[in-house]
Amino acid sequence: MGMEPESSLVPSLDELRALARAQGVEPTDADLEGVLGFLRTVLPSLRELEEATQRDVPPAGLYLPDPEAA
């Protein structure tokens, strides 16, 4: 499972506009471009972090009893 191209991680301007309208917000194109710039920076790093995190590691703070203790 390789990393997807950046373009598939970041929504398009029209997708962002539709999401904003669904929330009752009418951002300007400049606002949407700013959000896209942020997402282009953050989403690839989050994807990389997600892929680097082992699936068998429980979330921090989750108590899992030792199966050997029973």
Radius of gyration of the chain (CA): 19
pTM more than 0.75: no
Each residue's pLDDT tens digit, 22-58: 999 999 999 999 999 999 999 988 888 888 876 776 6
